[in-house]
Amino acid sequence: MAEDGDAPSRRDRALSVSVFRPGRSAEREIDPPDPDQGRDIFVDPYPLALFNAARVWESLNAMTLNGDHLARNGLFTNPDQSLAGPAFDILRTRIAQAMAERGWRRIGVTSPTHGCGKSFTAANLAMALARRPGSRTVLMDLDLRRPNMHTLFGVTPNGALRGFLDGTQPMESLFVRVGRTLAIAFNGEAVPDAGDILHSSDTTQALDAMEVQLDPEITVMDLPPALVSDDVLAMKGKVDAVLLVADGTQTTAKEIRACETLFENRLPLMGVVLNRAQDLGLGRLRYRRG
């Protein structure tokens, strides 16, 4: 909670957003959630679960993934499956430690342009984080114009993620649980007005309510490419930091500098991941702290 005279933290603001019925504005005072106010993120009320994230987590539909499909798409459930597996474990540890030091809980994964492997990186990072026993990690496909996460995982999404973001669909209808430590929000519908959706205060409230309900240690957000639209900038205030994924075979130094300039004084840059690095000694990834 914020000290007297300090601006409330994002988590304090989240606690003021009640999470059941839509159409009521959030209260300014930081009080326990009131079931008679706020947005409906569940089909049925779970009043006890408001104070027990484990129960909310268990209420999500469980999904079993196809290991062969994951492997064909370069997703590693076991770090020993690939030279890049240990690299993702190192990446997850460095990111988790850096975020814990700063009190951050949300990281967006982006790239300068399409085709750099940001979704691949976001998915493997989330799965690496979820391998920690007793942890909770959420992965969200917020590349609303070109959703691809469900293809990587080989699943059919339950619907359009914009429904959760604008409050018209409950969280339990779109989020699925993989094991006990990973929840994923797939998106089954591309939208042309993605920037408007991400700018919306409804999206802010939806993300804050999700964080209160699921209480993840880290939420990994697969974001659109930074230099293609203003969608990433629309996430200012909704994400704590960004991780930039560059393609070692196509991304230029000029594009990386353009992203760094774009993020300056807007979004903290956690670091740069060089995907498809040619240095075999480092495997597929090279990470530079921002």
CA 124 to chain CA centroid, nearest Å? 12
* Residue 270 · residue 107 · CB < 8 Å: yes
Render each residue's pLDDT in the chain as its tens digit; 290 residues: 444 444 445 544 343 333 333 333 333 333 444 444 444 444 454 444 445 888 899 899 999 989 889 988 888 777 676 667 788 999 999 999 999 999 999 999 999 999 999 999 999 999 999 999 999 999 999 999 999 999 999 999 999 999 999 999 999 899 999 999 999 999 999 999 999 999 999 999 999 999 999 999 999 999 999 999 999 999 999 999 999 999 988 999 999 999 999 999 999 999 999 988 654 343 444 545 54
Token pair of 117, please?
């492997």
Angle, alpha carbons 243-41-194 (nearest 5°): 45
DSSP state of 106: E
CA 132 to chain CA centroid, nearest Å? 17
Q: How many CA atoms lie within 13 A of 232 on its CB side?
A: 28
pLDDT in tens, 121-164: 999 999 999 999 999 999 999 999 999 999 999 999 999 999 99
Q: Would you mind telling me the total number of residues written for the chain in this entry? A: 290
The structural architecture, per CATH, of the domain 52-289 is 3-Layer(aba) Sandwich (3.40)
Mark 76-88 as b/e (b = at least 16 C-beta within 10 Å).
Answer: bbebeebebbebb
Mark 122-160 as b/e (b = at least 16 C-beta within 10 Å).
Answer: bbbbbbbbbbbeeebbbbbbbbbeebbbbebbebebbeb
Domain boundaries, the chain: 52-289
Predicted TM-score of the model (pTM): 0.80
Strand order in the sheet with 285-289: 61-62, 175-178, 182-185, 137-141, 218-222, 106-110, 241-247, 269-275, 285-289
Across the strands, what pairs with 87? none
C-alpha to C-alpha distance for 254 and 105, rounded to whole angstroms: 30
User: Over the chain, what is the mean pLDDT?
Assistant: 82
